[in-house]
Amino acid sequence: MALFRRLQAIRALNQTIGIRESSSYLLGSSRSYSSSSTDISNGIKLNSPRFSSCLYNGRNALPWTHRSTMTLRSTMAMELSIFLNDKRSATTKVNAPPQARQMGSLKVSISSPGFIYEPYAPRDTISFWRRWFTKSGWRRTKNDIILELKNAYAIVKLRKTGYSKHKFYVEAIKLYKEINTLLANGDKTALRKAVTEKMYSELKNEIKQRQSAWNMSKLYWEMIEPAVLIRTLRARLIGVDKSDLNKVFIQLTLEIKTKQKFEAYDSKGARVAGDKNKEILVREIWVFEKSLFHPGAYWRLCGRIKA
């Protein structure tokens, strides 16, 4: 009888998964994305230039507070409620950056949420037996489906703005290479335009630490083109107005592998780190962000995740 009940539970789970085949809105979107390009979890190689950096220590922090907050609502709430046993809001309250706070009757436009929404983390593999014959495995399968639906929904929303995966990769790689070059040169003025406000603060401190504590006055950095690998790990939407679901930011998390050359010098020109004659393989995870409702918005680096 126990085995019979488990088989019934598996059949019910398969019916839940079958919702993806019957939902013309979410599922059609998911199929169109995966059929026209590689799956979001598959790596692909391009012949266009790509880049990576080895000049930082990855850090992430979620500025949770209980006061002076603004509501950031995920637009996946309604679509994903069909997978939950109870109705749960996908609203996240976070500390609003200064440029987004309301001052009296004046509302200042937000230029970035200021955090990485649902930062990517690799998920442990589980056995076939555990996935299909245990309650924890069924919960894991449901969560995996929800994560993939969030990815697909965000990509569909982005595609309505003219998004092309190949063109984005080319643009992201150019931006990635530009940021690394600016970091190596210590050009904080130009760096401000390529990253979000929070990221700029981190990189500025990084340059300052390098020049003072490490006594590095000059850096040589080079990327060997093309990149070894680039792939999308996660796509997320972040709403900033619960009354208007079109006012959203999108964040795409990319894994980038490249071969690089690096060498650092002190104030006297002596080499203190690296070797520009040796190539090293570098793997990094960068998060790029773009507003989908600001005219003329462009991709910027909003965070880095420790690989």
Q: Is the pLDDT of residue 205 over 80?
A: yes
Q: Is the pLDDT of residue 61 over 50?
A: no
Q: Is residue 211 part of a domain?
A: yes
Hey, which residues does 283 pair with through a beta bridge? Answer: 257
Contact call for residues 263 and 271 (beta carbons, < 8 A): yes
Using the predicted structure, report yes or no on whether residue 183 has a pLDDT greater than 80.
Answer: yes
pLDDT band at 5 (very low <50, low <70, confident <90, very high): low
Higher pLDDT, 169 or 219: 169
Q: Please report whether residue 168 resides in a domain.
A: yes
Query: How many C-beta atoms surround the C-beta of residue 205 within 10 A?
Result: 10
> What local confidence, expressed as pLDDT, does residue 130 receive?
93
User: For position 215, what pLDDT does the model report?
Assistant: 67
Q: Is 273 domain-assigned?
A: yes
Residue 193 scores a pLDDT above 50: yes
Give the model's confidence band at 283: pLDDT under 50 very low, under 70 low, under 90 confident, else very high.
Answer: very high
Mean per-residue pLDDT, 184-196: 93
**Stretch 127-144: mean pLDDT, rounded?**
94
Rounded Cα distance between 21 and 123, Å, is 25
Q: Percent of the chain having pLDDT more than 70? A: 63
What is the band of 202 on the pLDDT scale with cuts at 50, 70, 90? very high
Task: Tell whether 241 is covered by a domain.
Answer: yes
Q: What pLDDT, on the 0 to 100 scale, is given for residue 223?
A: 94
Q: How confident is the model at residue 111 (pLDDT cuts 50, 70, 90)?
A: confident
User: Does the pLDDT at position 160 exceed 60?
Assistant: yes
Give residue 86's pLDDT: 36
Instruction: Return the pLDDT at 40.
Output: 40
pLDDT-derived band at 8, boundaries 50, 70, 90:
low
- 9 in a domain, yes or no? no
Domain residue limits at 210:
164-305
122 in a domain, yes or no?
no
**Residue 291 falls inside a structural domain:** yes
Q: How many domains does the chain have?
A: 1
Does pLDDT of 303 surpass 70? yes
| pLDDT classification of 307: cutoffs 50, 70, 90 | confident
* Sequence-ordered alpha helix ranges (H) in the chain: 2-17, 19-22, 26-36, 77-80, 128-133, 135-159, 165-185, 188-194, 197-212
Which H/E stretch holds residue 272? strand 271-291
Does some domain include residue 106? no
DSSP string, 29-85: HHHHHHHHS--TTS-B--SS------S----------SSSEEEEE-TTHHHHGGGSS
Rounded Cα distance between 160 and 17, Å, is 26
Q: What CATH code is carried by the domain that includes residue 266?
A: 3.10.450.240
**Quick check: pTM over 0.85?**
no
The model's confidence at residue 15, banded by pLDDT at 50, 70 and 90, is: low
